[in-house]
Amino acid sequence: MSCEHLVCAHCAHPVIEGRCAICRANRERMHNHGFAGLSPALIALLLIVLLFVTLLVERLSGV
**Helix/strand/coil for 46:** helix
7 close to 14: Cβ distance less than 8 angstroms: yes
Q: pTM of this prediction?
A: 0.46
pLDDT value of position 6: 83
SS3 content of the chain, % helix, strand, coil (to 5): 55, 5, 35
pLDDT by residue, tens only, the chain of 63 residues: 566 788 888 898 888 888 899 888 888 877 766 666 677 788 899 999 999 999 999 999 876
